[in-house]
Structure 1
């Protein structure tokens, strides 16, 4: 599993710029929003059996 950045919430506004430039001219609430995703890892395993040959 992993996380990826989705957007910023600045007060009630959604902002997708990253990095985000904010003018702090009053109190503001800034929240980073992330979404979780599943990371799929594909592996391939092959098993070889030795065959004994008897003469």
Structure 2
């Protein structure tokens, strides 16, 4: 299964630091998720960290 999500990072006062799109892959066996991996753009993380 593939998933997409948008993570939003915020300060303690609620103001937004930034957003980052991620893609996730999970594997299911029976009724259980047995593996989950997230993938993201490293450049987006660098921009977010730089402020």
> When you count strand as a share of all residues, which structure comes out higher?
2
Q: Normalized against structure 1, the TM-score is what?
A: 0.25
Please tell me whether Structure 1 or Structure 2 has the larger radius of gyration of its CA atoms: 1
> When you count helix as a share of all residues, which structure comes out higher?
2
